């Protein structure tokens, strides 16, 4: 497991976390903020995202915490988030890197193939898979040019067993 620890003597890292308003994303954001890193956070609900940003800013004043809401279930949401991140990190300095990208935003909507409403599986795939894919596509070219950065995709055991579960649950 990779450590989130960063010596305070080191340059702060630019860290992008999706789904950072609560749960695992917020917990990871707090660990990076504790290290004085620069955080670029997102989620779809503006109120809870900005509340998290304010909490982290007041608890860890050495960290830079920026946040902007984007809905990853919408086609342009992840791409717009990527462009916002490039713009914001570019303001820090000309050679600012994407050090850590954590594709964490996700939902689990329980259901089965025969009982769930039309579009549930598509919605899950849109957020959990395409959201991460589209954001990574915007940020990866810069990371490759810089030859720097780490990408973490937070998944679930459900991604391995979801189809089987949805098909077989009522047999
Ligand atoms: N907790 C577990 O036991 C567990 C187990 C396996 C996998 N995971 C995975 O770990 C990740 C985090 O889980 P968690 O339990 O911390 O989830 P959580 O508490 O429900 O938080 C999910 C985060 O994703 C954001 N999000 C949801 N839909 C979004 C959308 N359409 N666009 C942008 N952001 C969206 C939420 O904010 P908004 O509601 O404001 O959008 C929230 O910040 C997820 O990918 C989940 O699948 C969790």
Each residue's pLDDT tens digit, 61-89: 999 999 999 999 888 999 999 999 999 99
Convert 110-144 to b/e letters by CB count within 10 Å (16 or more is b): eeeeeeeeeebbeebebbbebbbebbbebbeebbe
User: pLDDT tens digits, residue range 13-39?
Assistant: 999 999 999 999 999 999 999 999 999
Residue 46 in any domain: the answer is yes
In a domain, 70, yes or no: yes
Residue 4 lies in a domain: no
Q: How many domains does the chain have?
A: 1
What is the atom index within ligand 1 of the atom nearest the CA of 131? Answer: 32
Comparing CA positions, the residue from 101, 105, 104 lying closest to residue 148 is: 101
Closest ligand 1 atom to Cα of 73: 31
CA atoms within 13 A on the CB side of 33: 24
Q: Is residue 87 part of a domain?
A: yes
Tell me how far apart the alpha carbons of residues 36 and 48 are, in angstroms, rounded to a whole number: 22
Q: What is the CATH number of the domain that holds 88?
A: 3.40.50.720
Q: Is the CB of 51 under 6 A from ligand 1?
A: no
Residue that wins the pLDDT comparison between 9 and 126: 126
Q: Is position 59 within any domain?
A: yes
Domain that holds residue 84: 14-168
């Amino acid at each position: 497991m990779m450590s989130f620890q960063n010596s305070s003597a080191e340059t702060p890292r630019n860290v992008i976390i999706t789904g950072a308003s609560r749960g695992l994303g917020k917990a990871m954001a707090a660990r990076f903020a504790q290290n004085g890193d620069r955080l670029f956070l997102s989620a779809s609900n503006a109120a809870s995202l900005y509340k998290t940003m304010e909490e982290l800013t007041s608890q860890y004043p050495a960290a830079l915490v920026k946040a902007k809401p984007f809905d990853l279930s919408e086609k342009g949401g992840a791409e717009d988030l990527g462009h916002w991140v490039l713009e914001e990190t570019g303001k820090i300095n000309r050679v600012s890197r994407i050090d850590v990208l954590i594709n964490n935003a996700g939902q689990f909507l329980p259901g089965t193939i025969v009982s769930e409403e039309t579009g549930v599986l598509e919605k899950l795939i849109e957020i959990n898979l395409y959201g991460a894919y589209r954001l990574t596509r915007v940020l990866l070219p810069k990371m490759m040019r810089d030859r720097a950065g780490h990408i973490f995709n937070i998944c679930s055991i459900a991604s391995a067993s979801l189809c089987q579960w949805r098909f077989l649950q009522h047999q």
